[in-house]
Amino acid sequence: MSKTSSTIPKWADVLLIPIINLFMALAVSAMIIYLVGENPIEALKLMIEGAFGSSEGVGYTLYYATNFIFTGLAVAMAFHAMLFNIGGEGQAYIGGLGVAVILLALDQYLPFWILLPLALIGAMLFGAAWAAVPAYLQAYRGSHIVITTIMFNFIAANLMVYLLVNVFILPGSMTPESRVFEEIAWMPSIQSIFATLGIEISDSPLNLSFIIALIVSLIVWIYIWHTRWGYEMRSVGFSEKAATYAGINTKRVIMITMLISGALAGLAGVNEIMGVQHKLMLDFVAGYGFTGIAVALMGRNHPVGIIMASILFGALFQGGAELSFDMPTISKEMVFVIQGLIILFSGALAYMSRPWVEKIFIIFSKNTKKGA
Amino acid sequence: MEFALNDILSILAATIRLSTPLIFAAMAGIFSERSGVVDISLEGKLLAGAFAAASMAAYTGSAWLGLGAAIITGMILSLIHGFASITHKGDQVVSGVAINIIVSGLTVVLGMAWFHRSGQTPTLTSDSRFMPIQLPGVDAISNIPFIGEIYSKLISGHNLLVYIAFASVAFTYWVLFKTRFGLRLRAVGENPKAVDTAGISVSFLRYRAILIGGILTGIGGTYISIAQNASFIKDMSAGQGYIALAAMIFGKWKPVPAMFSCFLFGFLEALSMRMQGVVIPYIGEVPVQFIQAAPYILTVVLLAGFVGRAIAPKADGIPYVKER
Amino acid sequence: MSNFSIELKDISKSFGSIQANKNVNLKIKKGTIHGIVGENGAGKSTLMSILYGFYEADSGTIYVNGKETTIKNSTDAIKAGIGMVHQHFMLVENFTVLENIILGAESGMILSKSIKNATSEIKNLEKSYGLYVDLDARIDTIPVGQQQRVETIKALYRGAKILILDEPTGVLTPQEADQLFDILRALKDQGTTVVIITHKLREIMDLTDSVSVMRAGEIVDSLETSKTSKEELAELMVGRKIRMNLEKSSAKTGETLIDVNKLGLTDSSGIRRLDNLNFQVKAGEIVGIAGVSGNGQSELLEILCGILPCSDGKIKISDITITPTNQTKPDKIRHAGIAHVPEDRLKRGLIPQFSASESSILGYQNSSSFNGIAFTRTDAIRSHCISIMKDFDVRPQNPDIKSANFSGGNQQKLILAREMERSPKVLLVGQPTRGVDIGAIEFIHKQIIQMRDKGSAVLLVSGELDELITLSDRIIVMFDGKIVGEVDANKTDEKELGLMMTNSHEQKNGQKYE
């Protein structure tokens, strides 16, 4: 880890450098769009319009953001203990399974307000369970958590195909999907909530899960900075030696942190399964787990930063979808490229711009001294 | 009896074919990690190589130009990884993950832009692919029972890149253990300070190591798209880069054992393909999804150290910083 | 041609705010053995690392054989004929001896040829200097003494005419050290210039022709060895520091709170770090542990506070018994009223990235006064931090500043405040004033004495001799993991301690330690 000296003000460290990194990632993305033969500025306009130009667009943006908040929090939580959880994809997938199991079993018997907490618990339990083996192997056997969590992504994908084809599929159907849940078990959409207030907004997949995501962000913030467990977790992440000195059981902390991380990723399944699809189906995670990495790195592992980065990525996904519609030469996978570039610039190259910024500040402060 | 031998031979031949990309990637991983650079981006390099080879072959009709394009692509990605993790001492895993995600998206974006197909390149004719070749003398001895069959069915009849994969194992072994470069490379992965104080540049050595890795993964990617298959398909590397990393770890960062662990994965895959639809007494039909997940499960089991603990090069994954 | 192999003019080097070398001037005559002595942190290793190109000096000039030479990296140094045997060997552990020797100096592309070429050359070196070693053995299978020979051969194989050795005897047995000295004398006889860094005065007297003394980054004097004495060197090394005027009554001791019995520690590579330690510390007294760093003091502290498991023996500390089969974790030990101020405040004592208030509860994070049912009581932690900051005069008195951004002295005061606040029965203190400014030192000393007077048993490990003498009631001297003597702090002086620590002292019971 690079040592941070205090030659630049805090605002520059927290805001300026991330923005420079983001800008560099976007500049490279623009270059790619240009090379593909489209006008990057035009593309940017289309994306912004697609993401924020209509209430429907905003709805989609926030719906995507909901997923990213959950997976981003998952990655950030693990990062605080210096663990790199790349398994958000699989944990979210299995989390969705947890939601579906609860709802398919109980939607005919229970009211929504009982189903909701049960579904949340199901998502978290299943997500945590999917993180448990890599967590154990990291803490007690020293296996590389990056590879094991990736492997669990692949295993999850195969497991879900198996379950959908053999267990959840409707008799006689050819599509690997479960039955649609009873309507009582659907997460209320934002437009229906607004409708009860007499305000009409256009349809979008945005649903109550967004609010849940914000509440969970708050809880995560409290956990990390306002509980003794968060304290222990951060101690282990910053300095295992100091944590040992403080009498902290580092292995147990690794275990617990990864379980929470898996549970958070699992919650993305609530948004997708309970909020949008209303049935269990294949591939509903669609890379959100990986986006969580970019979101966490950009948001500096802080819930507020993660919410902001998630909305940015939501806009990127929504705008990207619109873009590929208007510019058919640009496929929607362009957003993955941008996402990867953001991980590269705000993760691996996070401190590349630092020396320049420092130099600028040194020159700047000299000048102001002369002036004074 | 006759039937059984044929069966075994065809499974073994499939093992060799399925192991080939793993071997390339595992050798690349050995070069990289022996020099102290963790390379998660093997996966992305394989995929990028596959795309570059298929695109170039589709464009020019030449498999060889496809191979060249793949190698250059692999080297460029290695340079990016090196720039982040060697020059700027960034987190090697984060850099690798970033590359993988970029490649996974960019291959589709470029495929769309160049060929107007979503996540695919045009299907290649056999002239622009690496096709199976017959080794000399197959006709002459194929009638000899057993030996002839092994020679004609198992050893002969693969495409050129398969043989290059085996050559790459020998090459890796030779470079690592028989040359000056190999000595320095192994040293820098164990104790970069020792190399630095011996008056050798740590960064330059590491760059060279990961560039070789880029070349090897480029060939591996070429194999996947224009030898094993006839076009590029979205995300067709399917985790083989990660599995190769596991094979390398299981092979204790040594070329020949790593090759054998690649065979283990290849064999498992070949076997599981054979198992599809087969009913096992008492258990019933093995679900195809379990068969497909088997290599990933095996990877986890191997990494869990149930089969002996692996000791990585000491400086693996740690950027070299002269500290006070 | 110049008479001097090495001339350094006005070499300065700083790391951040720490000035490691300050206007260093040094001349070393050709074909001699020159010693550089000084306490830990005096800047000896930095100076030699500059000469070897591992660090670049901020300013100053280097002359090698009378020629101004720029040394930017190790390649330049090797070209200039300088070789170095580092304190921590620069060897690749899973390589053979031969591979290590030729690394970077291979004669060609193909390894087998290089090995063939090198073998005969190395055999010659072995013969002419008596540097015998098994060329095909793996480094991690041979003892450290042999490893050091490999380092020496490495330098000579590269044609070194100037050989620098950094603390070469730190890891050697006395017999191995004697063998090394024979080799160095042989080298000198054949024209090689040898520079040896050490803090052991006996070695300087035995071996060198001339000697320079470093203190606080500067060379305070250069002398001919034959015209000086251990006593004079010890005085130069330590310097005449102002003895703090501390009122200290005589100790009123109570029950035994630390009882160490036949304590031993063998580390993972099989080296005996501690051997047969026996001592007691009673309530109301301060027992100091003196010793050159790396002689087992750190390990002793870490065993007592539960971080490190011991290999043999038995410890009773407060109400807790520690044995190899009954290890007690740090939290249990802390609960039993044992506080610990660790030697390395940035790696263990606090978490640099944490705010001061977060660091102020490190180790006590589960205490009920800082926790509600689920949440930490941030206000309680902050006000606790402010109150201990007040008590110990930590500046700036702001609990929200990052721990890393306090000065060393204030960081240390914060840690002491945290550990002393609960009036522990036992206080373990490591290097309480390392890197701490003079004002803070006095304050810290007073606090430690106060703890004693309140009835705590204090065990103090320090590299500062005057600190040990000022604070302690008794001083135990450690050397090579063993206790080599105990003195009454009121009846000793730095010279005597220095000699005991470097083990060049005739012990009072007449036994000379070997």
pLDDT at B233: 95
For β-strands C82-85 and C59-64, DSSP reports them as: unpaired
Q: Quick: pLDDT tens for A226-236.
A: 999 999 999 99
Query: How many beta-carbon pairs under 8 angstroms link B with C?
Result: 73
pLDDT at A5: 45
Q: Where are the domains of chain B?
A: 2-125+137-241
Return d(Cα C358, Cα A230) in angstroms, integer. Answer: 11
Among residues A332, A315, A323, the alpha carbon closest in space to that of A59 is found at A315
DSSP E strands in C16-93: the ranges are 18-29, 33-38, 59-64, 67-68, 82-85
State residue C493 phi and psi, 5-degree precision: -140, 175
Q: Quick: pLDDT tens for B46-70.
A: 999 999 999 999 999 999 999 999 9
- Please state, as a whole number, how many other Cβ atoms lie within 10 Å of the Cβ of residue B253: 22
Q: Quick: pLDDT tens for B192-201.
A: 999 999 989 9
Interface contact A347, partner B, CB < 8 A? yes
- Chain A nearest-CA distance from B38, in A, is 11
pLDDT at B70: 98
Q: Give B303's contacts in chain A (Cβ within 8 Å).
A: 137, 143-144, 147-148, 151
Return d(Cα A359, Cα A353) in angstroms, integer. Answer: 10
What are the C-alpha distances in Å from C425 to residues B150, C249, C298, C337, C351? Answer: 79, 20, 21, 5, 25
pLDDT at A4: 41
Return d(Cα B70, Cα B51) in angstroms, integer. Answer: 8
Q: Give C403's contacts in chain A (Cβ within 8 Å).
A: none
Q: Quick: pLDDT tens for A195-212.
A: 998 888 888 999 999 999
Instruction: Read off the pLDDT band of B1 (50, 70, 90).
Output: very low
Interface contact A341, partner B, CB < 8 A? yes
Interface contact A111, partner B, CB < 8 A? no
**Which residue stretches of C90-169 are H helix?**
97-102, 111-129, 144-157
**Chain C: touching chains (3 or more CB pairs < 8 Å):** A, B
Return d(Cα B276, Cα A169) in angstroms, integer. Answer: 21
Cross-chain residue pair A228–C366, CB shorter than 8 Å: yes
Q: Give A249's contacts in chain C (Cβ within 8 Å).
A: 329
> Which of A21, A158, A352 to mutate: most B Cβ within 10 Å?
A158
What are the C-alpha distances in Å from A252 to residues A136, A226, A235, B190? Answer: 9, 19, 13, 30
Return d(Cα B99, Cα B96) in angstroms, integer. Answer: 5
| Whether residue A371 has pLDDT greater than 80 | no
Instruction: Read off the pLDDT band of A8 (50, 70, 90).
Output: confident
- Chain C nearest-CA distance from A273, in A, is 31
Interface contact C418, partner A, CB < 8 A? no
- Chain C nearest-CA distance from A240, in A, is 9
Closest residue of A to B107, CA-based? A333
Burial C64-102 (b: 16+ CB within 10 A, else e): bbeeebebebbbbbbebbbbbbbbebbbbebbbbbbbbb
Interface contact A34, partner B, CB < 8 A? no
Return d(Cα C365, Cα A62) in angstroms, integer. Answer: 38
Return d(Cα A255, Cα C279) in angstroms, integer. Answer: 40
Q: Quick: pLDDT tens for A285-342.
A: 989 999 999 999 989 899 999 999 999 999 999 999 898 888 888 888 898 999 999 9
Chain C (466-505) residues lying within 8 Å, Cβ to Cβ, of chain B = none
Give the count of alpha carbons within 13 A of B41, CB side only: 38
Average pLDDT over residues B168-181: 96
| Whether residue A121 has pLDDT greater than 90 | yes
**Chain A: touching chains (3 or more CB pairs < 8 Å):** B, C
pLDDT at B150: 82
For the structural domain made of A10-371, what CATH number should be given?
A: 1.10.3470
Return d(Cα B4, Cα A187) in angstroms, integer. Answer: 57
Interface contact C481, partner A, CB < 8 A? no
Q: Could you tell me which residues are beta bridge partners of residue C314?
A: C261
Cross-chain residue pair C376–A6, CB shorter than 8 Å: no
Cross-chain residue pair C73–B199, CB shorter than 8 Å: yes
Please answer whether residues A322 and A51 qualify as being in contact, where contact means their C-beta atoms are separated by less than 8 angstroms.
yes
Q: Quick: pLDDT tens for B209-263.
A: 999 999 999 999 999 999 999 999 999 999 999 999 999 988 999 999 999 999 9
pLDDT at C40: 62
> Which of C344, C362, C382 to mutate: most A Cβ within 10 Å?
C362
Cross-chain residue pair B191–C52, CB shorter than 8 Å: no
> How high does pLDDT run on average in chain B?
90
Please answer whether residues C341 and C432 qualify as being in contact, where contact means their C-beta atoms are separated by less than 8 angstroms.
yes
Cross-chain residue pair B191–C111, CB shorter than 8 Å: no
* Angle between helix B2-34 and helix B255-275 axes, rounded to 10 deg: 140
Cross-chain residue pair C363–A226, CB shorter than 8 Å: no
DSSP A165: I
Q: Closest partner residue to B187 among C77, C78, C92, by Cβ?
A: C92
Return d(Cα A24, Cα A41) in angstroms, integer. Answer: 15
Among the ranges given (A320-329, B101-110, B168-177), the one the predictor scored with the smallest mean pLDDT:
A320-329
> Which of C56, C88, C90, C156 to mutate: most B Cβ within 10 Å?
C90
Structure-token match 């302690």, residue found: C472
Cross-chain residue pair C354–A232, CB shorter than 8 Å: no
State residue C20 phi and psi, 5-degree precision: -85, -35
> How high does pLDDT run on average in chain A?
91
Please answer whether residues B209 and B30 qualify as being in contact, where contact means their C-beta atoms are separated by less than 8 angstroms.
no
Cross-chain residue pair A351–B91, CB shorter than 8 Å: no
Interface contact B194, partner C, CB < 8 A? yes
| Whether residue B307 has pLDDT greater than 60 | no
Q: Where are the domains of chain A?
A: 10-371
**Chain B: touching chains (3 or more CB pairs < 8 Å):** A, C
- B187: tokens are 């040293």
Please answer whether residues C298 and C265 qualify as being in contact, where contact means their C-beta atoms are separated by less than 8 angstroms.
no
Q: What residue ranges of chain C have pLDDT lower than 70? A: 1, 16-17, 40-41, 170-171, 173-174, 240-246, 269, 293, 435, 437-439, 502-514
Instruction: Read off the pLDDT band of A184 (50, 70, 90).
Output: very high
Q: Closest partner residue to C351 among A6, A222, A242, by Cβ?
A: A242
Closest residue of B to A155, CA-based? B293
Q: Quick: pLDDT tens for B114-171.
A: 898 878 899 998 888 998 888 888 878 877 888 888 888 888 889 999 999 999 999 9
Give the count of alpha carbons within 13 A of A113, CB side only: 0
Structure-token match 């498991």, residue found: C309
Q: Give A246's contacts in chain C (Cβ within 8 Å).
A: 330-331, 362-363, 365
Interface contact A185, partner B, CB < 8 A? no
**What ipTM score was computed for the predicted complex, to two decimals?**
0.90
- C330: tokens are 């740090």
Return d(Cα C317, Cα C321) in angstroms, integer. Answer: 6
First to last CA, chain A: 37
Q: Kindly list the residues of chain A whose beta carbon comes within 8 Å of any beta carbon in chain C.
A: 5-6, 222, 226-228, 231-232, 234-235, 238-239, 241-242, 244-249
Q: Give A241's contacts in chain C (Cβ within 8 Å).
A: 344, 347-348
Return d(Cα C168, Cα A298) in angstroms, integer. Answer: 49
Return d(Cα C41, Cα C20) in angstroms, integer. Answer: 8
Please answer whether residues C75 and C53 qualify as being in contact, where contact means their C-beta atoms are separated by less than 8 angstroms.
yes
Report CA torsion sign: B233, B239, B240, B245. Answer: positive
CA A327 centroid distance within chain: 27
Interface contact C334, partner A, CB < 8 A? yes
- A231: tokens are 């304290």
- C248: tokens are 């200290």
